Structure 1
Amino acid sequence: MATLILLNKPFNVLCQFTDNEGRSTLADFVGQSSVYPAGRLDYDSEGLVLLTDDGQLQHRIASPRQKMPKTYWVQVDGEIDDAALERLEKGVDLKDGPTRPATARHLGEPEIWPRHPPVRYRANVPTSWIELTITEGRNRQVRRMTAAVGFPTLRLIRRAVGDWSIDNLAPGESRSLSIHLPAAAAKTSRGQGRPRAKKRNR
């Protein structure tokens, strides 16, 4: 049985447990030892970080081969149009190659927590929100994708990875699940099927 922790990482928190520059890290929010992030989330991004004490589960979540969907709420500079969303869905050319097809849709401003510090406000420049789901995890990929179609990212929140989400988690809050890996999956490096999750009483 593996432990999986779902953390809603606040803005300007490093996705690691130590830092020699005095910045906030995961250690400020996760008290359990011997867990490690399954994938990364940028310092200036917010939202779901998954941590586990099981290397097999960590691999299944983070490996690009698994193509696990990651869903983001993205505030962009300007009123994004359907043409830009279509380009995001088909894939855009980045310096490290074209992106895989994605799912993108307009999103009304979500009911979420205020960010500190807030996004810069300019009265003469509107902003808009989209929901973007990708199946890869290149460095700062979402930000580069929206910039490539002409709408730079202002705020980025990872809402979900696979079936796990930050629903009912305030920034800095976490919950712990017990994951039962199928026996066959535990014997392979790639694994098959999806892990089943059960809440652990806290």
Structure 2
Amino acid sequence: MSSLIAFNKPFNVVTQFSAHEKYQTLKDYISLPRFYPAGRLDTDSEGLLLLTNDGQLQAKISSPKFKLPKTYWVQVEGLIDNQAIDKLTRGVQLKEFHTAPAIVTFLDEPTNLWQRVPPIRERKTIPTSWITITITEGKNRQVRRMCAAVGFPCLRLIRVQIGNYNLFTHHLPLGEWRSININDLYIR
């Protein structure tokens, strides 16, 4: 029987179950046999990760072919402006491809976030700002590369939603997981 779980991945956790010489892995948080990540979330990123024991479901969630939207809260270095937001919204030329258009909005600094350990580097003379980015592709380090391409390097990246499943509306604390229903994602 297909099962699906949502995990709120902390910073510096590798998205794999096998041991890693430097970082914690999913095995330190999830002890279910035969579950595998449906997509990736980089070690230096935080937030929602889906895992399943069904290979077809795993492919459907992670494949850009199905265009399942993924939403991120992004803290960038500097005060991001409308020009940069417009570029991100239209799509950005990266080295090997042009990103699909994204949904990008300004975001007030979230008050409901956990403290990151270790905290981001702060520079007294350079402010930071927050945006929300929703993409449907999910290529390697895409959101970080998009932000850098428009001149606003990413300091903190938190995936808050996949499909219609949101970490905060479902109250999933950092480092915890729970079983969810496939209908929570609205995959057809």
Task: Place the TM-score, normalised by the shorter chain, in its bin.
Answer: over 0.9
Residues of 2 paired with 1:84 and 1:113: CA distance? 27
5+ residue gaps, structure 1: 181-192, 196-202
Structure-1-length-normalised TM-score = 0.87
| AA aligned opposite 1:147 | A
- Does 2:187 correspond to 1:194? yes
Alpha carbons 1:3, 1:53 under 8 Å: kept: yes
1:66 aligns to what?
Answer: 66
Alignment of 1:1-202 (within 5 A): 1-111=1-111, 112-167=113-168, 168-179=171-182, 194=187
Q: Which has the larger radius of gyration?
A: 1
**C-alpha distance after superposition, 1:66-100 (max 9, x if no partner):** 11110000000000001100000000100111000
Alpha carbons 1:8, 1:170 under 8 Å: kept: yes
Residues of 2 paired with 1:71 and 1:101: CA distance? 13
Residues of 2 paired with 1:94 and 1:85: CA distance? 16
Q: Secondary structure at the match of 1:115?
A: coil
Deviates more, 1:119-128 or 1:150-159: 119-128
Deviation of the 1:29 alpha carbon: 0.9
Number of matched pairs = 183
Q: Secondary structure at the match of 1:97?
A: coil
Deviation of the 1:19 alpha carbon: 2.5
Deviation of the 1:194 alpha carbon: 2.1
Structure-2-length-normalised TM-score = 0.93
Q: Secondary structure at the match of 1:27?
A: helix
5+ residue gaps, structure 2: none
Deviation of the 1:22 alpha carbon: 4.5
1:187 aligns to what?
Answer: none
Q: Secondary structure at the match of 2:14?
A: coil
Residues of 2 paired with 1:50 and 1:36: CA distance? 8
Deviation of the 1:179 alpha carbon: 3.6
Residues of 1 paired with 2:43 and 2:128: CA distance? 22
Residues of 2 paired with 1:103 and 1:20: CA distance? 35
| AA aligned opposite 1:171 | L
